[in-house]
Amino acid sequence: MSKIELNKRQETILQIVKENGPITGEHIAEKLSLTRATLRPDLAILTMSGYLEARPRVGYFYTGKTGSQVLSEQLKKLQVKDFQSIPIVVNENVSVYDAIVTMFLEDVGTLFVVDENAILAGVLSRKDLLRASIGKQELSSIPVNIIMTRMPNITVCRNDDLIVDVAGSLIEKQIDALPVIKDSEKGFEVTGRITKTNMAKILVRLAENDII
């Protein structure tokens, strides 16, 4: 993502292209009494951001898009593979007690449960573990496969899924994280995770103009 907040020179360039487009970079530079090399970074930013379009041997065109439209278009291009985190997994036979310890030590809100073939078998949330902790059960003797959410009742995503779609799933399902999976002959292999924290980080990076 390129800059959405434009500086004065970039705003001036936009106005020149609006009034004179198509116009070459050389002619824009002449109107501003600057060199083409000086303007090159600004033109690159405006083009990558979607404000301008550049056509070889023709020049620059103004797209007519607002800042919010440009931001929306950029958001719709972001994919899971660029923002996923490392998944925290446990075996389906570990105890609820061990799962609670793992969740605490890893400082996560969701654990992904795999079988002996490292295939996704279930998901454990904080609520699942808290629910199991209420009462007088011996947590060290209860395996997580008793309390986990099982396939096929698990929402998953893949590397090439769009971030906006994953965010919609998190909201719709009222969950904290989705496993990023890839298909194998035996089922789904867990390759990553996308969480609400990931979404917050994306928002901060957008605000800091740090997403390409």
**pLDDT for 38-60, tens place per residue?**
988 989 888 887 788 888 878 88
Tell me, what's the pLDDT at 3? 43
**pLDDT of 198 strictly over 80:** yes
Mean local confidence (pLDDT), 114-143 = 91
Which DSSP category does 119 fall into? B
Closest CA to 154 of 130, 179, 176, 131: 179
CATH topology of domain 8-73: Arc Repressor Mutant, subunit A (1.10.10)
∠ CA 139-142-144, nearest 5°, is: 105
Alpha carbon distances (Å) from 112 to 29, 105, 107: 56, 15, 14
Q: What is the pLDDT of residue 123?
A: 97
Of 109, 138, 82, 23, give the one whose Cα is nearest residue 12: 23
Quick one: DSSP state of residue 157?
A: B
DSSP E strands: which ranges in the chain?
Answer: 52-55, 59-62, 89-91, 110-114, 120-125, 149-150, 177-183, 188-195
Q: Higher pLDDT residue, 23 or 136?
A: 23
**pLDDT of the residue at 2:** 41
Report d(CA 106, CA 189) in Å as an integer.
Answer: 20
Query: Angle at Cα 101 formed by Cα 97 and Cα 125, nearest 5°?
Result: 80
Dist. CA 84–CA 150, nearest whole Å: 22
Render pLDDT for 3-41 as a digit per residue (tens, 0 to 9): 456 788 988 998 998 888 788 988 999 999 999 899 889
| Closest to 75 in 3D by CA, of 7, 10, 165, 155 | 165
- The tokens 């065109």 sit on which residue? 61
pTM over 0.85: no
Q: What percent of the chain has pLDDT above 70? A: 91
Would the pLDDT of 70 be above 70?
Answer: no
Overall fold of domain 80-204: CBS-domain (3.10.580)
Domain boundaries, the chain: 8-73, 80-204
**Among the listed residues 24, 45, 184, 198, the one whose alpha carbon sits nearest the alpha carbon of residue 114:** 184
Check: CB of residue 43 under 8 Å from CB of residue 60.
Answer: yes
pLDDT category of residue 135 using cuts at 50, 70 and 90: confident
